[in-house]
C-alpha cells in the first residue's frame, strides 16, 4: 500500500469510527499513520484535500458496489428489482457514512473545496440509479407484471416507496431479514402497479 493510500485509509477509518468531523487534524492523521505532518503535505496540499479524497474514495467504492451489477440487463423484472434494491440497502446498512456523505445537510457543512465535487457526485449517482430503476420498471411493464400509468404522481409514489424503504430499513434496528423486507416491497410494487 502506498503512503498516500495509508493516509487516506487512516482518515476513512477515523470517519467510520467517529463519523465525519472537520475537527480531525493533520497531526492526528500523521500520528495514526506514524509519519510527520510534512509527509502528508507531500501528497495533499491541504487538510480539505485529504478529506475530499477520503470522502470521494468512500463514495466511489460504495457507488461501484451499487451500480456494477453484472448481467442485470438480462434479468427479469423480479430478479433485477430485488437485486438492485438489495445492493442499495445493503451498502446503506454497511456504510452509514454514505448517508452522511450524500445528505444535503452534510454537504452544506463541507468546505467549499469539497462541496461542489461531492454534490456533483451525488447528482450523478442519483441520475444513474433513477435510470436503472426506469429500465427495471420497463421490464415489469414488458413482462405484463405492471401496468404503470405515465402520470407523474404515480411515478412519485413508486420512487417514494423505494427511497422510503431504503431509508427506513437502513436506519432501523428491527430484526427483519433484508431479503424478507425486499420481498415485501416487491409485492407492494406489484399491487401498486396494477
Please tell me the total count of domains within the chain. 1
Q: How far apart are CA 122 and CA 98, in angstroms?
A: 10
Element (H, E) at 87: helix 77-94
* Distance, C-alpha 165 to centroid of its chain: 14
Extract the C-alpha cell encoding 144. 405484463
Low-confidence ranges of the chain (pLDDT < 50): none
123 within a domain of the structure (yes/no) = yes
Q: What local confidence, expressed as pLDDT, does residue 120 receive?
A: 82
Quick check: is 56 in a domain?
no
Q: Give a yes or no: residue 147 inside a domain.
A: yes
Answer yes or no: is 116 within a domain. yes
Q: How do residues 124-158 score in pLDDT, each as one tens digit?
A: 888 999 899 999 999 999 999 998 777 788 788 88
* pTM score above 0.75: yes
Q: What is the pLDDT of residue 47?
A: 87
Q: Is 175 exposed, middle or buried (0-12, 13-18, 19+ CB in 10 A)?
A: exposed
Domain that includes residue 155, residue range:
70-192
Amino acid at each position: 500500500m502506498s503512503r498516500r493510500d495509508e493516509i487516506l485509509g487512516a482518515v476513512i477509518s477515523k470517519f467510520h469510527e467517529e463519523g465525519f468531523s472537520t475537527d480531525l487534524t493533520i497531526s492526528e492523521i500523521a500520528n495514526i499513520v506514524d509519519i510527520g505532518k510534512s509527509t502528508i503535505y507531500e501528497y495533499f496540499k491541504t487538510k480539505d484535500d485529504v478529506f475530499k479524497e477520503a470522502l470521494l474514495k468512500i463514495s466511489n467504492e460504495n457507488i461501484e458496489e451499487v451500480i456494477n451489477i453484472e448481467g442485470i440487463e438480462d434479468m427479469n423484472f423480479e430478479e433485477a428489482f430485488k437485486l438492485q434494491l438489495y445492493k442499495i440497502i445493503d451498502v446503506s446498512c454497511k456504510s452509514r457514512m454514505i448517508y452522511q456523505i450524500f445528505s444535503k445537510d452534510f454537504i452544506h457543512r463541507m468546505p467549499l473545496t469539497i462541496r461542489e465535487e461531492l454534490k456533483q457526485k451525488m447528482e450523478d449517482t442519483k441520475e444513474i440509479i433513477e435510470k436503472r430503476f426506469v429500465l427495471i420498471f420497463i421490464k415489469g411493464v414488458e413482462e405484463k407484471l405492471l401496468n404503470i400509468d405515465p402520470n407523474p404522481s404515480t411515478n412519485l409514489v413508486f420512487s417514494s416507496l423505494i427511497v422510503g424503504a431504503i431509508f427506513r430499513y437502513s436506519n432501523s434496528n428491527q430484526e427483519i431479514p433484508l431479503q424478507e423486507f425486499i420481498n415485501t416491497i416487491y409485492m407492494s410494487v406489484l399491487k401498486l402497479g396494477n
